[in-house]
Structure 1
Amino acid sequence: MNCPIVEAGGGRAGVPALSIIVPTLNERGNIEPTVAALDRALRGIAWEVVFVDDDSHDGTAEAVMALAHGDPRVRLLRRLGRRGLSSACIDGVLATTTPAFVVMDADLQHDPDLIPHLLEALDTADLAIGSRYMAGGDGTALGARRGIASRAATMLSRLVLRQPVSDPMSGFFAMRRAQFDEVAPRLSGIGFKILLDILVSARPPLRVAELPFRFRPRHAGDSKLSAGIVAEYLLLLIEKLCAGIVPARYLLFSAVGGIGLLVHLAVLAVAVDWRLPFAVAQALSTWVAMTNNFFLNNYLTYADKRRRGWNIVTGLATFYLICSIGAIANVGIANAIYTQWSVWWQAGLAGALVGSVWNYAVSAIYTWRR
């Protein structure tokens, strides 16, 4: 195999020339088979594998440590209180020193036998992608639901991509470390599509090579696809479309606030129809709307920092307090502007904006802090 970038980067005894970054969340059953497959595929290459585990609860980290005790090529980077494939990949790469790295999943849907070919492509490219959708590739193992979602996500990616790539949603690619270091400060780290983040954030565009591969059935465990992951993908697109001027998370937080307003009005209408005193009806609808906003934000806007278990109770309490202060600020600012200029819609908009920014900024610090 001719891999100049890897051959130039090491190969001395005990010194890896290639790092394989494998983000994990509850993948215990896949750890040993993944290392065995890498061992078979990468003979003749000095490599290391870095499993970046988001505090799995099935013993994934323990399985990695058990292998690492007998194999110095196996490393574990365990993250506490953090979630997200993209940020896991970034942390994993930054924890290595090799001239090239590969990102792949832990479920063996990505065939390690393709890695040497991806590395060869780096002789003339900055980034080599395993593609399911170019001629010779096969993504049928995704299944109908995930296949449709993947195709839809690929179409949406055209909104932000500046170069033709057949599979920007791929989670299987190799990259030169020098080029990654250049683009890393501009990465958002949002969601599960680190490759798209890299492609869109690179200035100038990277030299890209694509190689077809067959996406295989999952070896063990369950798919992580969920509504939260879809929301995080949309967050990434919004962030890149706005060029970072307005935080994508704030836009989603505001959208949730809009839904909360509709919930507030619906509950208020029902309460008034039940002939409750208006003050009681208003308080009830406000409480329901704030509760709705907390759980939507916890599931969508802050999916990577989601509160779980008893932490939901303390998070909800801080959210109630923050939004109550935000409501007071909203009314105070709006009243002051209306008194000065007597334009009701400008006053209302200004008050709502101040309240929204307050709620977003303070809840990010206290309710969804890492």
Structure 2
Amino acid sequence: MDISIIIPTYNEGTNVQTMVSRLTKVILPLNRTFEILFMDDSTDDTPQQLGALSEKYPFVNYIHRVDMRGLASAVTDGLKNARGSILIVMDSDLQHPPELIPDLLNKINEGYQMVIPSRFIAGGNDGGLNYYRKLVSWTARIIARLTLKRLRKTTDPTSGFFAVRKSALEGKEFHPIGWKIMLEIIVRANIDQIAEIPYHFQARDLGSSKMNAAEQLKYLIHLFKLILESEEDRRFYLFCLVGSSGVVINLLVYKLMLSMGMPIMYAFLISSLISILSNYLLNNAFTWRMRHKRKSRFSWFERMVKYVIVSIASLCVSSGVLSSAHYLLHLSPMLSGMTGIAASVIINFVVNDKWTFTTSKKNLSDKTVMQHVEK
């Protein structure tokens, strides 16, 4: 089967009939095999309406869930039960226009793993939201894109409307919390080939919104779990945590040296070197731990030398950034200092990630040979 349209429903009234009618008009002319799969958690007469639709249309299927409820689990169950090679997820409340499906399929056919209709690219519009929900939506998007690197590939990471190749999900396990399943799929399935098309968000006609404070809390918890389970994101936050501990150690040692009567410059240099060494030990043990299990006995010292070089170089660069921000851009001392610190963190992390703690080509070739021998 070519296409599966997965639609979670909860007390949607006559929306399901309208949805089937609009989907039929859109998909039948494409001459492709398809199914419309409703994942229903309703407590009203929606299951009866879905039953009547499935009897009338052979391409309409539904699963009425009794023991489990929730938007995210409904979608994940739908992904497991869908038979199509291309999976399209959309809401049943008519805010996601079925008329965009041909455009989604065209982009998928260009080789993308996922295609997302976005409200926030040229031609898109989020006019269906009131001002409060626009603020909540904007905040959720910003938090997602700041906290998870892979989500920066899309302008609308909190959307519930998307198409994805089933092959991209094979062998992946999903554990969503709350109402934003797409970011779960992007992060856990390592989706990196993403395209966006513009769309106009439609005002909700029937049913009730799923947006509430409890779901917003679940969203934040969901993001935190994804950070913990995403190695590339977890590494950066561990690096920042180690850096914070280094600041504390630096200040404590600096104060101790001064209390012992040591000149300020010597106290500063010693405390800085000790904090750099402390940062290296912690980063080596935790942040980049998985990268150096098979290295030689000399690699520990080699990494330490590289780390010190990077730390000193980034200190020089961040000092230059601070000076430029203050004397050329005329920023306040505090804002200039924050700019310098941000530059130092980014430079330190990127260079250490790409150089200090990278796996050498020799180790990679040795590992490949070992794997070949084992086979």
The aligned amino acid for 2:103 is H
Q: Describe the shift of the 1:231–1:81 C-alpha distance in structure 2 as closer, same or farther (beyond 3 A).
A: farther
SS of 2:61's partner is strand
Counterpart of 1:152 in structure 2 is: 139
Q: Give the deviation of 1:201 after TM superposition.
A: 1.5
* Match among 7, 26, 50 for residue 37 of structure 2: 50
The aligned runs of 1:86-105 (5 Å cut-off) are 86-105=72-91
Whether 2:162 is the aligned partner of 1:173: answer yes
Counterpart of 1:252 in structure 2 is: none
* Match among 66, 81, 98 for residue 80 of structure 1: 66
Q: Give the deviation of 1:202 after TM superposition.
A: 2.5
TM-score (norm 2): 0.58
Counterpart of 1:135 in structure 2 is: 122
Provide, for residues 53-74 of structure 1, a one-character-per-residue CA deviation record: whole Å limited to 9, x for no partner: 12x1221111101111111111
Provide, for residues 80-132 of structure 1, a one-character-per-residue CA deviation record: whole Å limited to 9, x for no partner: 23222121111011112211110000011111110111011112200000101
The aligned amino acid for 1:23 is P
Identity %: 36
Give, in whole Å, the separation in 2 of the partners of 1:179 and 1:46.
Answer: 20
Q: Give the deviation of 1:45 after TM superposition.
A: 2.8
The aligned amino acid for 1:81 is D
> Rg: which structure is higher?
2
Give, in whole Å, the separation in 1 of the partners of 2:47 and 2:223.
Answer: 32
Whether 2:102 is the aligned partner of 1:116: answer yes
SS of 2:116's partner is strand
SS of 1:179's partner is helix
Give, in whole Å, the separation in 2 of the partners of 1:206 and 1:60.
Answer: 37
The aligned runs of 1:129-278 (5 Å cut-off) are 129-158=116-145, 159-162=147-150, 163-182=152-171, 184-185=172-173, 187-203=174-190, 205-243=191-229
Give, in whole Å, the separation in 1 of the partners of 2:205 and 2:98.
Answer: 13
Provide, for residues 211-265 of structure 1, a one-character-per-residue CA deviation record: whole Å limited to 9, x for no partner: 00001111211111111211211121110122289xxxxxxxxxxxxxxxxxxxx
Q: Describe the shift of the 1:166–1:244 C-alpha distance in structure 2 as closer, same or farther (beyond 3 A).
A: closer
SS of 1:142's partner is coil
Contact 1:29 1:221 in 2 (8 A): no
Counterpart of 2:16 in structure 1 is: 31
Give, in whole Å, the separation in 2 of the partners of 1:200 and 1:192.
Answer: 15
Give, in whole Å, the separation in 1 of the partners of 2:162 and 2:199.
Answer: 11
Give, in whole Å, the separation in 2 of the partners of 1:46 and 1:219.
Answer: 29
Structure with the higher helix share, 1 or 2: 2
Give, in whole Å, the separation in 1 of the partners of 2:136 and 2:11.
Answer: 22
Provide, for residues 181-229 of structure 1, a one-character-per-residue CA deviation record: whole Å limited to 9, x for no partner: 24x31x22211111111112233x4200000000111121111111121
TM-score (norm 1): 0.59
RMSD: 1.5
The aligned runs of 1:297-316 (5 Å cut-off) are none
The aligned amino acid for 2:20 is V
Q: Unpaired runs of 5+ in structure 2?
A: 232-375
Q: Unpaired runs of 5+ in structure 1?
A: 1-15, 246-370
Give, in whole Å, the separation in 1 of the partners of 2:36 and 2:43.
Answer: 21
Q: Give the deviation of 1:79 after TM superposition.
A: 1.4
